[in-house]
Amino acid sequence: MNDIDIPEGSLLDNNFLEFISGSTDSAETLSASTLLNAYVPVFLVSFVVTILLTPLIRQIAIKCGVIDHPDGDRKVHKFPIAYLGGVAILAGLCSGFLYSYIFIADVPVNYEMVPIGVLLGMFAISMTGFMDDVWHWDPRLKIAGQLVAAAGLTLCGIGTNVATGIMVPFFGVPETVLFTVGDFAFRSSEIYYWSGTFLTAIFVIGGCNATNLIDGLDGLLTGTSAFMAIGFLVISLLIAIGIADPDGERQFDGARIVLCFSLLGVLLGFLPYNFNPAVIFLGDCGSLLIGYMCVVIILMLGEMGYTHLVIAGLFVFSLPIMDTVLAIIRRKLAGLPMSAADSGHIHHMLLRYFDGNVRKSVLTLYFLTSLFALFGIALAYLFIYQIIQGRFVYAAFLVVFSFICVLAIKTARKKQWESAEAS
């Protein structure tokens, strides 16, 4: 342990060896094992509540007639399946957060818990999805609900620092005066705030709808999101123990870990019921909520204005991004509206490749998601430790991402040609 060399210019401070060994006497510095021990009860509470509550929610959904019927095309399940799994997800998340507010004590005082704005947004997005599951809301109302959820994040400053990190090279530090009109001085911080608000809205709308799109096979979104949560958790731990915070001004170190652990707990608690053959689905309430939670974590990674860490989070979230990009391209080429449903998603292609075997298709995408998570972790690790520049990680990711995209587009085009010839 003592033979480790810390590269010059590293983001790590001189106490790095004490951080990772857990030998420090300071109450404000923690090792990874200490953080895991402090926060793992959040995971357990979320897991237990979800795994116990899901059967009850399923029975309520069946009695109320909130059921998804197969159509033989995009919906490949053989029997009607209950919706409203998102209600169990919401309850599990709230339980984990509540535990963290009351019982987490063995962490520095600056490790604040989940901001209230996140909770407001979480309830807004859950209610939006619930209304759509039960009453099939107009898409414009769903977008409105997502914007309300995004507004909740801006209340606690989540997302604004991401814009600051991107735009500082162009407009200077936040208090830079750009121009004056009479006695009024227009500062760069104004641009950063409104740009951050816009960026937060784009992230929430894009992330929520991206997870909603890939929720097409038993256990697909639940399992892939569990791998994402693990990737986010590792990156969050690397930030907490690897980037110095001598003034204790960072706010989201503890909140990120709570969010990751709670999200992982509810996903693993729900997965046994949702894996093929599923007995309950997430519904829009669950898929939108999962997308929202992932977006919150990704935006929190940019708390210090480090764009590379946000990109690392986006790497972890690559599967929903990829499927959404391909859906836009596919529908544009086919002359279809963006809201049109089709059976050309990545999971549908794999399903046809594996002759309708849902489990093989889902497990393949689990592997792909874990690969993307490793790319994100590698980028964050290289950036934090300043060992080498992360360009080769970007290059490797771009190759894998592009290869899959081109292959998917080719497959979709081939299907279109075959359909045209048959007609």
Q: Would you say residue 58 lies in a domain?
A: yes
Number of domains in the chain: 1
Band of residue 357 on the pLDDT scale cut at 50, 70, 90:
very high
Band of residue 421 on the pLDDT scale cut at 50, 70, 90:
low
Structure confidence by residue, pLDDT tens digits, 381-401: 988 887 766 677 888 888 988
Alpha-carbon torsion angle 226, 229, 230, 233, nearest 10: -160
- What is the spatial distance between Cα 332 and Cα 325, in angstroms, rounded to a whole number? 11
pLDDT at 195: 81
Structure confidence by residue, pLDDT tens digits, 147-176: 999 998 988 888 877 777 777 666 666 666
**Angle, helix 283-300 to helix 220-242, in steps of 10 degrees:** 20
In this structure, how many other beta carbons lie within 10 angstroms of the beta carbon of residue 332?
A: 11
**What are the tokens at 287?**
């898929």
Structure confidence by residue, pLDDT tens digits, 228-260: 999 999 999 999 888 887 776 788 899 999 999
Q: Would you say residue 8 lies in a domain?
A: no
- What is the spatial distance between Cα 159 and Cα 193, in angstroms, rounded to a whole number? 9
pLDDT at 89: 97
Band of residue 104 on the pLDDT scale cut at 50, 70, 90:
confident
The answer to which of 15-24, 128-137, 348-357, 393-402 has the lowest mean pLDDT is: 15-24
CB 119 within 8 A of CB 318: no
Q: In this model, does residue 403 exceed pLDDT 70?
A: yes
Which has more pLDDT, 316 or 33?
316
**68: part of which helix (H) or strand (E)?**
strand 67-68
SS3 280: strand
Which has more pLDDT, 10 or 271?
271
In this structure, how many other beta carbons lie within 10 angstroms of the beta carbon of residue 335?
A: 7
Q: State the number of CA atoms in the 13 A half-sphere of 200 facing the CB.
A: 34
Per-chain mean pLDDT for the chain: 83
- The mean pLDDT of 116-143, rounded to a whole number, is 91
- What is the spatial distance between Cα 60 and Cα 72, in angstroms, rounded to a whole number? 26
pLDDT at 218: 93
Q: Would you say residue 11 lies in a domain?
A: no
Q: In this model, does residue 103 exceed pLDDT 80?
A: yes
pLDDT at 7: 42
Q: In this model, does residue 181 exceed pLDDT 70?
A: no
Which has more pLDDT, 7 or 329?
329
- What is the spatial distance between Cα 46 and Cα 159, in angstroms, rounded to a whole number? 26
**Which residue range is the domain that position 366 belongs to?**
16-422
Structure confidence by residue, pLDDT tens digits, 297-308: 999 998 887 888
Structure confidence by residue, pLDDT tens digits, 87-99: 999 999 999 999 9
In this structure, how many other beta carbons lie within 10 angstroms of the beta carbon of residue 25?
A: 6
Structure confidence by residue, pLDDT tens digits, 320-332: 999 999 888 877 7
Q: Would you say residue 102 lies in a domain?
A: yes
Q: Would you say residue 10 lies in a domain?
A: no
Q: Would you say residue 268 lies in a domain?
A: yes
* Percent of the chain whose pLDDT exceeds 70: 80
Q: Would you say residue 351 lies in a domain?
A: yes
Q: In this model, does residue 19 exceed pLDDT 50?
A: no
Q: Would you say residue 6 lies in a domain?
A: no
- The mean pLDDT of 138-145, rounded to a whole number, is 88
pLDDT at 12: 44
